[in-house]
Amino acid sequence: MKILLVGSGGREHALALGLHADSACTELHAAPGNPGIADVATLHPLAITDNDAIAALAQSLAVDLVVIGPEVPLVNGAADAVRAIGIPVFGPSKAAAQLEGSKDFAKGVMRDAGVPTAHSYTCSTEAEIVKALDEFGAPYVVKDDGLAAGKGVVVTNDREVALNHALACDRVVIEEYLDGPEISLFGISDGRNILAMEPAQDFKRAFDGDQGPNTGGMGAYSPLPWAPENIVEETYEKVLAPMIAEMAARGTPFVGLLYAGLALTKNGIKVIEFNARFGDPETQVLIPRLQTPLATLLYKAATDNLDDEVLNWSDESAVTVVVAAEGYPESPKVGALINLPTCMDTTFYHAGVSHTKDGLVTSGGRVLTVTGLGRNLREAREKVYGTLPLILCENSFYRSDIALAASEGK
Ligand code: AMP
Ligand code: GLY
């Protein structure tokens, strides 16, 4: 099977290694890819916002499957462009990707599917905004309706800050604050069936102790020793399966990865958000633990064939830590040389990394993720945190507390 993978982040690097490890994958292409992905795939230049270019590349390579990693091309309809030329795609249509592209749309589907989530109002005028803020009270949760590259959500006790963020959005979802630990739980769907993956936890704030600005994610771990034992079954029954059934009933089946961000509240699980693609950096802990051959799995999902499929997982624990460029997320300082140790114990997933004549240099806010596997979280952490000081990269930083509490049984 020939596969084209679209994207260039740490998530795509993890997917590339997973696809490459499946013997069914005989040829792997990536566009635009990154220097790490280049070890296992042939890279092709590509503007991922150009649907026709994605379809044309898939056609010229005569691939059997296209896997689309990031949300922007999915929300733009890249999967539709590839399906239109008869090539199977792992990734939702433009209509189905609205689950990530519009918070208001996701709320409507959840309502129709009976999926538990925060009460909310979608507002377009100042009067509606003020009414919603005052009804829910602090902490205020204000979400830009559309894609906002991780900057759309403000959670604050400051009414002024909440109001100003809301007024700066064209359309805004204001909702009830959900109290409780957050987890990420993904499902792989062929449009009718959905296979729940194991849960992971992501660390969104930039600095130790959950301080600093919100980011795309500074680290993750899986499994979650503290989570309720039936969390996967419960999420399947209350969230994943009803969403897939509702999307199919609307005539816009969701084919791809449905990312449920959940709050475990005292009133049960509630959906915080959906994404229409693998999470980053959660993928960098899930793919190393997934034993089901990935290329075959994603091909079956893309061709409506998951009826008899099951997911198998390694018993090992995985921890991943993001190395970010100083100034991330606001204004990352890039262009620093990166020197990676030769290390058998951990895996480096490249993200904001470019190849130059001088070697590897930083080219984005999230530079790389380092994953360690161990018999438990403590061992996985030891491997990652043993490796991180050996990475030579000026003007970079990482959190020192990823999976710390969970590894201590908290
Ligand atoms: P999102 O961009 O939707 O992932 O939201 C960013 C972060 O805001 C989430 O990871 C949560 O930590 C927080 N958040 C979003 N919605 C809520 C909510 N209703 N209650 C509490 N925190 C929230
Ligand atoms: N880790 C959060 C995300 O992928 O959206």
- For ligand 2, the distance from its centroid to the CA atom of residue 279, given in whole angstroms, is 4
pLDDT tens for residues 153-208? 999 999 999 999 999 998 999 999 999 999 999 999 999 999 999 999 999 999 99
Q: Is the pLDDT of residue 344 over 80?
A: no
Q: Give the position, in ligand 2's atom list, of the atom nearest the Cα of 277.
A: 4
Ligand 1 centroid vs 153 CA: distance in angstroms? 7
Give the integer Cα–Cα distance in Å for 263 and 21. Answer: 34
Mutate to test the pocket of ligand 2, among 71, 103, 153, 184 (most ligand atoms within 8 A of CB): 184
Residue-wise burial string across 146-155, b where 16 or more C-beta atoms lie within 10 A, e elsewhere: bbeeeebbbe
Q: Is 52 exposed, middle or buried (0-12, 13-18, 19+ CB in 10 A)?
A: exposed
Q: Torsion angle, CA of 267/181/244/122, rounded to 10 degrees?
A: 80
pTM strictly above 0.85: yes
**Least distant ligand from the CA of 276:** 2
Ligand 2 centroid from CA 86, angstroms: 30
Average pLDDT of the chain is 96
What 3-state DSSP class applies to 298? helix
| CA 310 – CA 313 distance, rounded (Å) | 10
**pLDDT tier for residue 152 given thresholds of 50, 70 and 90:** confident
Ligand 1 contact via 205 beta carbon (within 6 Å):
no
Ligand whose nearest atom lies closest to the CA of 178:
1
The length of the chain is 410
**Per-residue confidence (pLDDT) for residue 242, from 0 to 100:** 98
Is residue 232 scored above 80 in pLDDT?
yes
Q: Which residue's CA is the nearest one to ligand 1's atom 13?
A: 155
Contact (Cβ atoms closer than 8 angstroms) between residue 68 and residue 91: yes
| Ligand 2 center to 284 CA (angstroms) | 11
**Residue 60: alpha-carbon gap to chain centroid:** 29
pLDDT tens track for 83-135: 999 999 999 999 999 999 999 999 999 999 999 999 999 999 999 999 999 99
Q: Which ligand is nearest to the CA of 11?
A: 2
Give alpha helix (H) positions in 294-368: 294-302
CB 231 within 8 A of CB 185: yes
For ligand 2, atom 5, name the residue with the nearest CA. 279
Nearest CA to ligand 1 atom 3: 273
Ligand 1 atom with the shortest distance to the CA of 150: 2
Candidate of 155, 178, 186, 205 to mutate for ligand 1, largest count of ligand atoms within 8 Å of Cβ = 155
End-to-end CA distance of the chain: 44
For the chain, what percent of residues have pLDDT higher than 70?
100
Judge if the beta carbon of residue 178 lies within 6 A of ligand 1: yes
pLDDT at position 362 is 96
Percent of the chain with pLDDT over 90: 94
Q: Which amino acid is at 343?
A: C
- Report which protein residue has its CA nearest ligand 1's atom 6: 153
What single DSSP character describes residue 198?
A: -
Residue 213 has pLDDT above 90, yes or no: no
Which numbered atom of ligand 2 lies nearest the CA of 275? 5
pLDDT value, residue 22: 98
- Closest protein CA for atom 15 of ligand 1: 272
Residue 150 has pLDDT above 80, yes or no: no
More confident residue, 148 or 310: 310
